[in-house]
Amino acid sequence: MLRALPLSLILPAPLLAAESAPPVVSAGTYLQATLALLLIVGLLFAATWAARKVSGGKMFGQGNMRVISGIALGPKERIVLVEVEDNWLVIGIVPGQIRTLHTLPKGTSTTPAGGQGPAFGDWLKAIRERQNAAQ
């Protein structure tokens, strides 16, 4: 039954057609593509410049808040010290959760004037006592 089908229905038309010249891309096409790419890059730079002018020279996300310091506890866990107006917040960040661990007045040092800081256990105990008192 397949022998009855003509060969033109099975094979694609380009294979049946006589060989044609390969398509040629002219220098004008390359020039046009290059100019279009330069136009797009220029528009991106112009949009960035305009965004800075509108926001008063500040980058996005920098208002009354800034990150003072941070430390990685693991591949996805961090503790970050963030300044918000007149307070410092110690924030714990884990996948799916951000939690305030401690609040300090701005510029407060956690080490006493003697240079040596309190033992970690003493510091943790003081924080736990404050949390229990707040609850």
60 contacts 44 by C-beta, under 8 angstroms: no
The rounded distance, in Å, linking the Cα atoms of 81 and 88 is 7
* Cβ within 8 Å of residue 111, ≥6 positions away: 117, 118
The rounded distance, in Å, linking the Cα atoms of 104 and 88 is 5
Report pLDDT digits (tens) over 125-135: 787 788 777 76
Q: What is the pLDDT of residue 97?
A: 92
108 contacts 88 by C-beta, under 8 angstroms: yes
pTM tops 0.75: no
Whose CA is closest to 84, among 102, 58, 63, 56? 63
Q: What is the pLDDT of residue 99?
A: 92
Beta-bridge partner residues of 97: 94
How confident is residue 23, by pLDDT bands cut at 50, 70 and 90? confident
- 88 C-beta neighbours (distance < 10 Å), count: 19
SS3 103: strand
Report pLDDT digits (tens) over 29-62: 999 999 999 999 999 999 988 887 886 655 545 5
On the question of pLDDT at 17 being above 80, the answer is: no
